[in-house]
Structure 1
Amino acid sequence: MKLFLIVSCLFGTIYAQHAGTNTPESAPQISIEKCSSGGSCQQESSLITLDSNWRWTHHVDDYVNCYTGNEWDQQFCPDVATCTAQCALDGVDQATWSGTYGIQVSGSELSLKFVTNGPFSKNVGSRVYLLESETKYKMFSLLNQEFTFDVDSSQLDCGLNGALYFVEMEQDGGLSKYPTNEAGAKFGTGYCDAQCPHDMKWINGEANVQDWVPSDNDENAGFGHFGSCCMEMDLWEANSKSQAYTAHACDVNEPTRCEGQDCGDNDSGDRYNGVCDKDGCDFASYRMGDTSFFGEGSSFKVDSSKPVTVVTQFITDNGSDNGDLVEIRRKYVQNGQVIENSKVNFDGVSDYDSITDDFCTDIKDLFGDVNDHQKKGGLKTMGEALKRGMVLVMSLWDDHEAFMLWLDSNYPEDGSGPGVERGPCPTSSGRPEDVESNQPEATVKFSNIRYGDIDSTY
């Protein structure tokens, strides 16, 4: 056993996902606030880091790409071990944040631009995380708490998604858990979510090159053998046409590299056999039958042409941080007025206005959806993840798989009945080639992030 450990340690010093030094990392600061009962809020200084998938991946101590477009260079990446040993993730400096990735931070505001034509390549979308220090993600434990932010989605048309959500990543991005990971949270490693994405270039400190297949409709993406699964709590998925918030529970309670059936891949018919609830339990006003609640203009209760404050409350059964999650409640604030969430508007179903287990069961029965939410433990399981702590993610993206129709149009396209209509966009919308050419300047802005006791942040 001692010999095995010695050999493993020696191997780890050679076979490792490296942190590059060609470009020094310069994480921008962003201010957030922690609030307590009575409305007293204290400012906290945090940092923003860019997800590893967007970062330059190059040969160690050189300027030669290991990954170009949507393919790994076979010279450096003929297999997992060789690629992991020979390739490095690099830093993002001040000029690159805006000039290459279209990301700007000022005070409490984060701005994400959709398409940026940089000096070396065209960047599409982005995904960033909140850090508490240079090497650790900020962990939010939100059971019996609320989380609030301002968002401007007015520039996002059909097919785009400006998202703010939480996932159960390792606080250090897997730096301490995986000897092959030398990059860690500083370089945006360790992403996972309930979709168990296969497009991650690095999982558990190793290059995801095994069985890598370049995407046939995305020049920047591909799919590897492994996926990366974990709990996910979507607080905001939206454009100017429609919005939703969704709880995704999993059978695993930590970031988990999956393969085969556990990934729940659609292509293999295993969507509901995997470790995570990919559908989730969602509350989307338009899908719930209230088509006049959210949209552009003063005729809607929440006017998406203007910034809005979004409040999400995680209610426990006993009103304590140690209780079970029983409700996820939503409020909005706009023009100085608190706007209560919309209600379910279908005959034969209670007029629910929040996510509860009863809501999930009744609405999935009405829609004819598989209740994987209940199978994966429902809100109790989601609450356990919120208690352990989750990482904040903010992103802007288009959808090369389902064209974002599940958010803002009819989905499935040929479906009928309650729950199919999810937004006013035509089913012909959302094609990435159209979205990227017609909306390159589209930008989402998140600001004034606050968290704390119930009813203390707005």
Structure 2
Amino acid sequence: MELTLLTLLSLACLANGQGVGSFSQEVHLPLPMQSCTSSGCATQTTSVVLDSNWRWLHANNDYTNCYTGNTWNQQLCPNAQTCTANCALEGIDQGQWASTYGISVSGNSLRLNFVTPNSNGKNVGSRVYLMVSDTRYYMFQLKNREFAVTIDSSRLVCGLNGALYFVEMEADGGMASFPTNRAGAKYGTGYCDAQCPHDMKFISGQANSEGWVPSSSDPNSGSGRYGACCMEMDIWEASSISQAYTPHPCTVNRYTRCDGVQCGDNGGDRYRGVCDKDGCDFATYRQNQRNFYGPGGTVNSNQPVTVITQFLTTTGTDAGDLSEIRRIYIQNGQTIRNSPVNLPGITAYDSITNAFCTATKNLYGDTQDFTAKGGLKAMGDSLQRGHVLALSLWDDHYANMHWLDSNYPTNGNPATPGVARGTCPITGGKPADVEAQSPNAYVVFSNIRVGTIGSTYAGLDY
């Protein structure tokens, strides 16, 4: 009887869709950025919002959890439609940012702590997005532009990834496209990326509870039937050991809920999905430049570094196609050019071009999925439509981050080009170990700038 009444009640208010809680007032942390031209830089009033997946999800006007640990409440969520109507995302007040999630800002600097003990146990990692208002994400249009940010990865050990990247999310978090989503960008909804993640609790305004399988290693996560796909441009994926920047094109040109083969889930369907999950990575250690980045390296990961990424076009104008993604570093007042590829039989490329991607993938024996999914032109078209900035800190329950900082595949010969990604041991990086041994790890992102080519770093005081 209880379940029947609950279901009837849910169907009666179905038009309300995914709700918003009323127990905490939503507060966004101010994080100003700058927009630059050749005439100088102007400060923009921007802020950050926490991703919806980290939030308390509970019954409408009730403290009962819709989701606990890594499982759904079957009374509130007997099916996706009912779950969507029954459940609300709660706001985050000023005090919860640091005490519950380990996130803080100081001026133009954002710090993400790894493990934060709190009244509910602990929070592990986080993901936030840059906002232009309380209800809309800041949309970056990066083709024929450059992006600059200063990053401190010095406290990130093997198995951790302090990531800054862009994804083709919708500016309002999907409210207009999916009317059952009443929370929107204000509550951090609408995430997608090129991995087509299945761990999102809500996709396209609907609960992703159907077919949900709790993770065997992550007490807070699981996997639903659907995935959330879109183009992704990784500006910085790094620990203090290794780093990479990587474009991931897709054959879809907007936020897309995937199902089955189109998700390209790991296994035989990986390259049949709509997105290039491998991407075309420029990872200096993988390209046999072993001393370029790391503790005491040319780019010294013991200290903050400013990272500039330029998105150059065929014509040098907004109308041209994306033809090159170039990287510049500034540290201790010195401008450092990106290291060239140091691999047998390969041109000494020092930036991402279509030719670089084809040549390195041929040498590594990788599938040419980057080209198949449209290469740099598709990536540039996506960047012109607009991307949302995501900043995160995470550990890896799938591959222990070995694809970034160790040998991958772990049974590969490290002397084979493309296998060695960093100095971390193949026995390391397990999330349980990293969380227990390095809970105080953190990453800091600061001084975010975007502008015309050459405008974001000239004259800065480093």
Do the structures match in fold with TM over 0.5? yes
Q: Determine if the alignment matches structure 1 residue 101 to structure 2 residue 98.
A: no
CA distance in 1, matches of 2:153, 2:120: 29
CA distance in 2, matches of 1:266, 1:44: 40
Alpha-carbon contact 2:14-2:85 (below 8 Å) kept = no
Q: Determine if the alignment matches structure 1 residue 32 to structure 2 residue 63.
A: no
Equivalent residue, structure 2, for 1:5: none
CA distance in 2, matches of 1:233, 1:12: 39
Q: Percent identity?
A: 60
Question: Which amino acid in structure 1 is aligned with residue 351 of structure 2?
Answer: S
Q: Determine if the alignment matches structure 1 residue 161 to structure 2 residue 161.
A: yes
Equivalent residue, structure 1, for 2:15: 14
Measured against aligned partners, the alpha-carbon deviations of 1:140-181 in whole angstroms (never above 9, x if no partner) come to 001000000000000001000000000000100001111100
Equivalent residue, structure 2, for 1:190: 190
Measured against aligned partners, the alpha-carbon deviations of 1:55-92 in whole angstroms (never above 9, x if no partner) come to 00000001111100000010101101111011000101
CA distance in 2, matches of 1:102, 1:347: 45
Cα distance change, pair 15–225 in 1 and its aligned pair in 2 (3 A): farther
Residues 37-436 of structure 1: matches in 2 within 5 Å? Answer: 37-38=38-39, 40-267=40-267, 269-297=268-296, 300-416=297-413, 417-436=416-435
CA distance in 1, matches of 2:332, 2:103: 27
SS of the equivalent of 1:397 reads strand
Question: Which amino acid in structure 2 is aligned with residue 32 of structure 1?
Answer: M
Measured against aligned partners, the alpha-carbon deviations of 1:361-416 in whole angstroms (never above 9, x if no partner) come to 00000000001000001000000011000000000000000000000000000112
Measured against aligned partners, the alpha-carbon deviations of 1:312-343 in whole angstroms (never above 9, x if no partner) come to 00000000011100000000000101000011
Alpha-carbon contact 2:406-2:426 (below 8 Å) kept = yes
Equivalent residue, structure 1, for 2:24: 23
Alpha-carbon contact 2:13-2:85 (below 8 Å) kept = no
CA distance in 2, matches of 1:106, 1:129: 17
Unaligned runs of 5+ in 1: 1-9
Cα distance change, pair 11–256 in 1 and its aligned pair in 2 (3 A): farther
Aligned-pair RMSD on alpha carbons?
Answer: 1.0
Which portions of structure 1, spanning 4 or more consecutive aligned residues, are displaced by more than 2 angstroms? 10-15
Equivalent residue, structure 2, for 1:3: none
CA distance in 2, matches of 1:119, 1:219: 16
Equivalent residue, structure 2, for 1:4: none
The offset of 1:13, in angstroms, is: 5.5
Question: Which amino acid in structure 2 is aligned with residue 275 of structure 1?
Answer: V
CA distance in 2, matches of 1:104, 1:226: 32
SS of the equivalent of 1:362 reads helix
SS of the equivalent of 1:350 reads coil
Equivalent residue, structure 2, for 1:448: 447
CA distance in 2, matches of 1:105, 1:12: 39
The offset of 1:14, in angstroms, is: 3.0
Number of equivalenced pairs = 445
SS of the equivalent of 1:366 reads helix
Question: Which amino acid in structure 2 is aligned with residue 144 of structure 1?
Answer: N
Alpha-carbon contact 1:15-1:82 (below 8 Å) kept = no
CA distance in 2, matches of 1:336, 1:11: 63
Cα distance change, pair 230–11 in 1 and its aligned pair in 2 (3 A): farther
Measured against aligned partners, the alpha-carbon deviations of 1:3-34 in whole angstroms (never above 9, x if no partner) come to xxxxxxx9885350001111110111111001
The offset of 1:106, in angstroms, is: 1.4
CA distance in 2, matches of 1:323, 1:389: 16
Question: Which amino acid in structure 1 is aligned with residue 20 of structure 2?
Answer: A
Alpha-carbon contact 2:16-2:182 (below 8 Å) kept = no
CA distance in 1, matches of 2:368, 2:339: 22
CA distance in 2, matches of 1:271, 1:109: 37
CA distance in 1, matches of 2:348, 2:177: 46
Alpha-carbon contact 2:159-2:395 (below 8 Å) kept = yes
CA distance in 2, matches of 1:218, 1:30: 30
CA distance in 2, matches of 1:99, 1:168: 30
The offset of 1:46, in angstroms, is: 0.3
CA distance in 1, matches of 2:354, 2:12: 48
Question: Which amino acid in structure 2 is aligned with residue 216 of structure 1?
Answer: S
Question: Which amino acid in structure 2 is aligned with residue 160 of structure 1?
Answer: L
Question: Which amino acid in structure 2 is aligned with residue 286 of structure 1?
Answer: Y
SS of the equivalent of 1:151 reads strand
Question: Which amino acid in structure 2 is aligned with residue 17 of structure 1?
Answer: Q
SS of the equivalent of 2:161 reads strand
Measured against aligned partners, the alpha-carbon deviations of 1:248-306 in whole angstroms (never above 9, x if no partner) come to 00000000000000000114x20000000000000000001100100102xx1100000
CA distance in 2, matches of 1:333, 1:320: 25
Measured against aligned partners, the alpha-carbon deviations of 1:218-242 in whole angstroms (never above 9, x if no partner) come to 0000000000000000000000000
The offset of 1:121, in angstroms, is: 2.8
CA distance in 2, matches of 1:457, 1:194: 28
